[in-house]
Amino acid sequence: MMSSKANLTDSPALHFEVEARDGEARAGVLTTRRGPIETPVFMPVGTAGTVKGIRFEALESDDLNAQIILGNTYHLWLRPGIDIIKEAGGLHRFIGWDRALLTDSGGFQVWSLGALRKINEEGTEFRSHVDGSLRFLSPEVSMEVQAALGSDIVMVFDECAPGEASHEDTERSMQLTGRWARRSKMAFDQLQATAADTGRVDAEGLNGAQALFGIVQGAGHLDLRRQSLDQTVEIGFDGYAIGGLSVGEEKSVMFEVIDEIAPKMPKESPRYLMGVGTPEDLVESVARGVDMFDCVLPTRNGRTGQAFTARGKLNIKNSRWAKDNRPLDELCPCSVCRRHSRAYLRHLYMSGEMLASILLTHHNLAFFLDTMRGVRQSIRSGDFPKFRRDFTERLRANGE
């Protein structure tokens, strides 16, 4: 085993190269210790160590070919618990996934508990939704848990201000996020130096350690967003995320923030927009300079009978599909669309068959991942404005 200390100072945890630009949109390659990821990239969300409703073989298949998925620190920490995942040799081994993993910090999940949590300078106290026990999450605890999970990209522990928060409240929250980012970085560096990371692998040109991303907060207040970006860049991270969007604010506010912040983020680092959004949001955010996305929409909506298609959303419960033998999306090359009809999928859904969720989830993920493939190709060939225009027009045609 190589000396981790010498390694850590010699080479970075990840490498990011922008290879083509079209306006603010960028296409590039993000190389993690588990291999290269073409950007812009959509990352399916695997909350409890599973991307709900889909097997890992399907995620790896040519149909989907997901290069990186998410894991949720909060959920995995509460259940099955860190001891079990450590014993398995980290999250990759526990779930049987060799490709890259990004873990969130738990900050957002704790925040969404609302009144059930208590925040102070040290961290956040809350009751576990699993067994009601009193738990405490802080920057140090989050870093420790993410090291034990051994994810390839770690997120700092942050505090999210609600979309409608006043300037004063948002400023207080944003400053706290800044102090927590510093503590996250310090704890993270110590954990890397003491080999607490269970996911360590030798990777050519990289130090094999975890990468750490900072998060820009500040709700819809642009001056606070700029301050948050400055203080985050000053600390210095392997990548930068925009957090606290898609939490109930108007869509126009979301794009105002992205317009203002994304182009000011370090050009040589990956930019990650957390928890966003619809296929249209993805394309529009790429146009504003974002490289990475995650969202539960394709999986969650798949389970409730909603399909995303090139011509907008399609509700499979609708009786108009009862005798419709066309595929979900006539433009989609996925295995579900090649084999099954709307009529069959509707029948499965109405009968409460679990296959309905599985097939809809598969198609939805294929649609999101395919959309990003199209985005990447069009940026590389200089056709992104046309791709964006055609994509939006087709969606708005809403030809269910």
Using CB under 5 A as the binding rule, whether residue 307 contacts Zn ion is answered as no
Q: What is the 3-state secondary structure (H, E, C) of the chain?
A: CCCHHHHHHHCCCCEEEEEEEECCEEEEEEEECCEEEEECEEEEEECCCCCCCCCHHHHHCCCCCCCEEEECHHHHHHCCCHHHHHHHCCHHHHHCCCCEEEECCCHHHHHCCHHHEEECCCCEEEECCCCCCEEEECHHHHHHHHHHHCCCEEECCCCCCCCCCCHHHHHHHHHHHHHHHHHHHHHHHHHHHCCCCCCCCCCCCCCCCCEEEEEECCCCCHHHHHHHHHHHHHHCCCEEEECCCCCCCCHHHHHHHHHHHHHHCCCCCCEEECCCCCHHHHHHHHCCCCCEEEECHHHHHHHCCEEEECCEEEECCCHHHCCCCCCCCCCCCCHHHHHCCHHHHHHHHHCCCHHHHHHHHHHHHHHHHHHHHHHHHHHHCCCHHHHHHHHHHHHHHCCC
Q: Tell me the C-alpha distance between 127 and 138, whole Å.
A: 14
Q: Which stretch binds Zn ion (CB under 5 A): 37-45, 87-95, 330-338, 352-360?
A: 330-338
Q: Does 363 bind Zn ion (CB under 5 A)?
A: yes
Contact flags string 132-161 toward Zn ion, x per CB under 5 A = ------------------------------
Give me the active site residues, please: 104, 294
Residue 269 or 309: the one with the smaller Cβ distance to Zn ion is 309
The CB-of-334 to Zn ion minimum distance in angstroms stands at 3
Q: How far is the CB of 144 from Zn ion (least distance, A)?
A: 41
In whole angstroms, give the CA distance from residue 375 to residue 326.
Answer: 26
Segment interacting with Zn ion, rule: CB under 5 A, options 19-27, 65-73, 133-141, 333-341: 333-341
Q: In this complex, which beta carbon is closest to Zn ion, that of residue 241 or of residue 334? A: 334
Work out how close the CB of 305 gets to Zn ion at its nearest, in angstroms, rounded to a whole number: 15
Q: Give the residue, chosen from 337, 348, 358, 372, that forms a contact with Zn ion under the rule CB under 5 A.
A: 337
CA distance 51 to 63: 16
The smaller minimum CB distance to Zn ion, of residues 269 and 278, is found at 278
Residue 287 touches Zn ion, criterion: CB under 5 A: no
Q: Per rule CB under 5 A, is residue 332 in the interface with Zn ion?
A: yes
Piece in contact with Zn ion (CB under 5 A), picked from 215-223, 296-304, 315-323, 327-335:
327-335
Nearer to Zn ion, 290 or 336 (CB): 336
**Contact window for Zn ion (CB under 5 A) among 79-87, 118-126, 168-176, 337-345:** 337-345
Q: Which is nearer to Zn ion, 254 or 336 (CB)?
A: 336
- The count of chain residues that interact with Zn ion, using the rule CB under 5 A, is 5
Q: Nearest approach, Cβ of 44 to Zn ion (angstroms)?
A: 15
334 contacts Zn ion (rule: CB under 5 A):
yes
Nearer Cβ to Zn ion, position 169 or 330?
330
70 is an interface residue for Zn ion by CB under 5 A: no
Shortest Å distance, C-beta 37 to Zn ion: 23
Least separation in angstroms between CB 315 and Zn ion: 16
Q: How far is the CB of 115 from Zn ion (least distance, A)?
A: 41
Between residues 294 and 329, which has the closer beta carbon with respect to Zn ion? Answer: 329
CB distance 71 to 149 below 8 Å: yes
Which residues here bind Zn ion, judged by CB under 5 A? 332, 334, 336-337, 363
